[in-house]
Amino acid sequence: MKIAFIGLGHMGGPMAVNLQKAGHSVAAFDLSKPACDKFAAAGLTIAASAEAAVQGAEVVISMLPASRHVQALYLGAGATGEGGLLAHIAPGTLVIDSSTIAAATSQQVARAADAAGIDFIDAPVSGGTGGAIAGTLTFMVGASAAQLERARPVLEKMGSNIFHAGSVGAGQTAKICNNMLLGILMIGTSEAIALGVANGLDPRVLSEIMRRSSGGNWALEKYNPWPGVQENAPSSKDYAGGFGTDLMLKDLGLAQENAGAVQASTPLGGLARSLYAMHSMSGHGGLDFSSIVQSLQKRAS
């Protein structure tokens, strides 16, 4: 299958590589030349532009930072797609957007795509860079049942869990609920470890105690925020790579916007957003979101 992949960041690049390893013909593009060079070295074919990448593609996949990037890519300056990439995609093509964006943006692009005879679905992911590299991501899909079945053979080459959340936009709603919980639990885990360390406990021992007890969670299992506890976690690599603080802040903002729109009460989500905002304003926006422990550690000392 010929696939166009737009967006070669920490997540998108490995996802595109896995598709190529699975035998698909992948034409990739990113506005960042270093990203293109990095994945060209990994064997990906890099197109001269997004428009060139989608020529003849049966499936187009995008993995971009925020709503505005997805709107600009597919719709250009307008709302109907004439000035964006939709104008260069052949009718009948399947478009899978795996960015984490507002559900309303996914629905807006889907309407323009439908008018052009293009199938557009939202399929944001969870699993981090490790999951992207290993091909074990979780996809939360907003699509019709028929669209999902059309996308499944492609998604299965990048992930091990595929959930049908509902119609277009539902995948994005599920993702912001998940990431709001992730942001909250990372703060709670960081607080608990910092408290223990302030009392002289070994962070490895404390983490293992909590991991096997009622406080066990994903951060303790796979993404410990304390340096040196887990060798492959971003915390043990100076918080480089992984999922940036500013990206978590963006997702928490999406959750709060959505909560306001549907009048849902999310007090912990709001508090988490404020804490990540302060962490970002302290100069840590580019670090992995687990670096929030640094701010909490200072308060505990």
Is 157 marked active-site? no
φ/ψ bin of 169: left (φ > 0), alpha (ψ from -120 to 50), beta (otherwise): left
Q: What angle do CA 177, 103, 73 make, to 5 degrees?
A: 125
Q: CA–CA separation, 90 vs 58, rounded Å?
A: 8
Q: CA–CA separation, 5 vs 62, rounded Å?
A: 6
Instruction: Return the axis-axis angle of helices 170-198 and 267-279, rounded to nearest 10°.
Output: 70
Structure tokens at 201: 């406990």
Q: Please identify which of the residues 21, 175, 237, 250 carries the catalytic annotation.
A: 175
Structure tokens at 71: 């709107």
Tracing tokens 């971009």 back to the chain, one arrives at 64
Q: Using alpha carbons, select from 123, 125, 127, 126 the residue that is nearest to residue 147.
A: 123
Q: CA–CA separation, 243 vs 166, rounded Å?
A: 26
SS3 letters across 9-49: CCCHHHHHHHHHHCCCEEEEECCCHHHHHHHHHCCCEECCC
Helices (H), the chain: 12-21, 33-41, 50-53, 67-75, 103-115, 128-134, 145-155, 170-198, 203-211, 218-222, 245-262, 267-279, 292-300
The catalytic site residues sit at 175
